[in-house]
Amino acid sequence: MRQDSTDSRKALLVWGALAIVYVVWGSTYLAIMITIETIPPLLSGAVRFTTAALVLGLAVYLLRGRDAFRMTWREAGGAALVGLLLLNGGNGMVAVAEQHISSGLAALLVASTPLWLVVFRILFRDRPRALTLVGVLIGFGGVAVLSLGGGSNAADGTGVAIILLASLSWAAGSFLASRIPMPANPFTASAVEMAAGGVGLALTAAAMGERLDVAAVSARSWTALAYLILIGSLVAFTAYVWLLGNAPISLISTYAYVNPVVAVVLGALVLSEPVTGSMIAAGVVIVIGVALVVSTERRRKPEPVPETKPEPAAV
């Protein structure tokens, strides 16, 4: 009886954490759109990730002590490189792209990240299953429709090109994360990644001539930025890491095709972003392709190598 109670409690915790990842990471596209209304996109990312890195780093230090930060220079460099690819190249370009396209369209195109991961595997002479390749072709078919302007008038060519580069950068960072030396503690690794990404975004913002006029920033943008820092980067990430140790990867990976649906719905409800029939159809095609890739890969026979965990595809 006691075991049943424990199992039920754990099941509730798993679904609660999964709901956080579903909703929060799906909502970050909307929060980014609101943040960049009055805060330059690259600078907003710099503030977001440097602040989150400091908070997370302090929490890890208080809970685990100095030992949590023991790492080699190669591990620190690996985490920094991954952080630059995920956050500077990935998240930073998402924010820039959302100056040109809707948050919902951005989320649908970012959903192609698992497809790019398969492409990287092929380039490194891995052999995905036939169904995985079918899923990639289906997914990229949906991406092609959206990229050619099938979504709506918001499908500005510049924004689409930037968001596809962002997805490619995020996929490269995710691909390398399991193949180069990284800190053993995932929270420590994340703190290093966010610190490197935050500094990288600050330098890129300076090079691009971005300037922050504090007096011009609206309360609405400050609130959205605070949400991205506290809820998007800290609460949701903590829930994700907890899930990695307490739930099947096949279940956790479903966020990859739930997040864009949440983003499209929120963008339409809160910002009245246009959602056309062709955009929905292309989005469904992308989600089906990603779902096929994820479900097929999770059924692969175990290989004689350590299991790797997926990098969160959050923005």
Q: Are 263 and 107 in contact (CB under 8 A)?
A: yes
pLDDT one-digit tens code per residue, 274-297: 888 888 888 888 888 888 887 776
pLDDT above 50 (res 302): no
pLDDT one-digit tens code per residue, 68-106: 899 999 999 999 999 999 999 999 999 999 999 999 889
Nearest Cα to Cα of residue 221 among 54, 22, 30: 30
pTM of the model: 0.86
User: CA 230 to CA 243: how far, in whole Å?
Assistant: 19
Provide the pLDDT for residue 2: 57
User: CA 80 to CA 123: how far, in whole Å?
Assistant: 23
User: CA 258 to CA 139: how far, in whole Å?
Assistant: 15
User: CA 94 to CA 152: how far, in whole Å?
Assistant: 18
Provide the pLDDT for residue 269: 93
Q: Is the dihedral of CA 13, 18, 21, 22 positive or negative?
A: negative
Provide the pLDDT for residue 307: 41
pLDDT above 80 (res 311): no
Enter the tokens of residue 180.
């180069």
Q: Which residue shows structure tokens 């023991």?
A: 70
Provide the pLDDT for residue 151: 47
Q: Are 132 and 297 in contact (CB under 8 A)?
A: yes
User: CA 280 to CA 178: how far, in whole Å?
Assistant: 33
With a pLDDT cut of 90, the percent of the chain lying above it is 44
**Given pLDDT bands bounded at 50, 70 and 90, which one contains residue 254?**
confident
Provide the pLDDT for residue 303: 45
Q: 79-92 as b/e, with b when 16 or more CB fall inside 10 Å?
A: bbbbbbbbbbbbbb
Provide the pLDDT for residue 4: 60
Backbone torsions φ then ψ of 79, nearest 5 degrees: -65, -40
